[in-house]
Structure 1
Amino acid sequence: MPAPRITHLSEPAGVQPSSGYTHVVVGRGRLAAIAGQMAFDAEGELVGAGDPEAQARQVFTNMGRCLAAAGGGFDDVVKLTWFVTDVAFLPTVLAVRDEFIDTARPPASTVVQVVALYRPDLLLEVDALAVLEEA
């Protein structure tokens, strides 16, 4: 049986167990880098002004469209980087994330609180790395 294309190592020896993310995700295939996605619709209009849940849903919808364009999906994501203007949004935005990813095998993740994003009405931005099957 061939080795899996993506391997999740949730509890490396000597590292505190993770909650809601995987410490190490190893992939074998084509790398896709998804630029930071923001809560803009196809016409460039902001979705969910002042609403972290609505913005997170649009961010992940956009990310799903980018992954599909690359020939992949959320199961191929090995790393997410979150930029949030307030870490108090995390429970809400993580609940939305969990609607899109396999919570039993979550990607590696980093969360950074920032003073501001591209526009003052943006509450979060998320970028991703995905490992796709060989073409």
Structure 2
Amino acid sequence: MEKLNPDTLTHTVTSLISQIVVVPASPLAFISGQVALNEKGELIGEGDYGRQAKQVFTNLQLALEAIATGPENMVQMKIHVVNHTPDLVESIFKAGFEVFGDRWPLTASTFIGVQALAFKEWLIEVDAIVCISK
């Protein structure tokens, strides 16, 4: 098993998690929940669901690049949203399309409203499972 913490993603929480886990005997990689922290660990878009979503999807794209794959190889994505209401869906998906464009990951997906994430400033977290077989 290979555990990766690429330089393009924050190292703020990597003493507690691995950003990506690749299982060599399997064609799957598991990407930890990405939040709106840039590579320096700075929160992007405090209080703004759309801006945080864009950073979250950017981080997801960076994680995919770190394992030399793209969104078309995602098999599952879970989107966790603090205090979710239906009116948030449009801005969150708009942010995803800004990052991925026509490469939006068509996956088995779950959109989950949650009470809170690990830190009160975090509004959105997305994790994914990716098929990395050639």
Structure 1 length as normaliser, TM-score?
0.71
Q: Is the 8 A contact 1:75 1:102 kept in 2?
A: no
Q: Which has the higher contact order (CA 8 A, sep 6+)?
A: 1
> 1:69: which partner in 2?
66
Compare 116-125 and 83-92 and name the one that shifted more.
83-92
> 2:80: which partner in 1?
83
Q: 1:101 Cα shift?
A: 5.9
Structure-to-structure mapping, 1:1-135, within 5 angstroms: 30-88=27-85, 89-99=88-98, 100=100, 102=102, 106-134=106-134
Compare 100-109 and 86-95 and name the one that shifted more.
100-109
CA distance in 1, matches of 2:105, 2:44: 29
Q: 1:93 corresponds to which letter in structure 2?
A: I
Aligned length: 106
Structure 2 length as normaliser, TM-score?
0.72
Unaligned runs of 5+ in 1: 1-28
Q: Percent same amino acid at aligned positions?
A: 36
Q: 1:94 Cα shift?
A: 1.2
CA distance in 2, matches of 1:64, 1:104: 11
Q: Is the 8 A contact 2:64 2:70 kept in 1?
A: yes
Q: 1:87 Cα shift?
A: 2.3
User: Judging changes above 3 Å, is the alpha-carbon distance between structure 1 residues 105 and 54 closer, same or farther for their aligned structure 2 residues?
Assistant: closer
CA distance in 2, matches of 1:30, 1:50: 37
CA distance in 2, matches of 1:77, 1:101: 15
User: Judging changes above 3 Å, is the alpha-carbon distance between structure 1 residues 82 and 49 closer, same or farther for their aligned structure 2 residues?
Assistant: same
Q: Is the 8 A contact 1:75 1:101 kept in 2?
A: no
Moved over 4 A (4+): 101-105
User: Judging changes above 3 Å, is the alpha-carbon distance between structure 1 residues 101 and 128 closer, same or farther for their aligned structure 2 residues?
Assistant: farther
